[in-house]
Amino acid sequence: MVPFFVMITGLSHRELKRRGLGSVYSLRRARSREKLRPLAELARSLLAHPLRLETVL
């Protein structure tokens, strides 16, 4: 799901580093909610409206 949210938000790796998520792709196999929380909060703030299937595809 991490690559999906990176793609949908449209943020570059450099922008993710600037926002404190420099190792965002290392979160792919993370199970801890505390490790995933910064990405979830960033995605929530950037995706104010619900995603529709047509938009994603």
Number of domains in the chain: 1
pLDDT for the residue numbered 40: 84
Q: Any residues with CB less than 8 A from the CB of 45 and at least 6 apart, and which?
A: none
Structural domain containing residue 26: 2-56
The list of the chain residues with pLDDT below 50 reads none
Q: Cα-flanking dihedrals φ and ψ of residue 48, to 5°? A: -70, -30
Distance separating alpha carbons of residues 20 and 25, to the nearest angstrom: 13
Tokens of residue 15, six digits: 């922008």
Residue 7 CA: distances (Å) to CA of 10, 11, 13: 5, 7, 11
Q: Report the pLDDT value the prediction gives residue 55, as an integer from 0 to 100.
A: 67
pLDDT at 45: 86
Which pLDDT value is given to residue 9? 80
| DSSP one-letter code for 23 | T
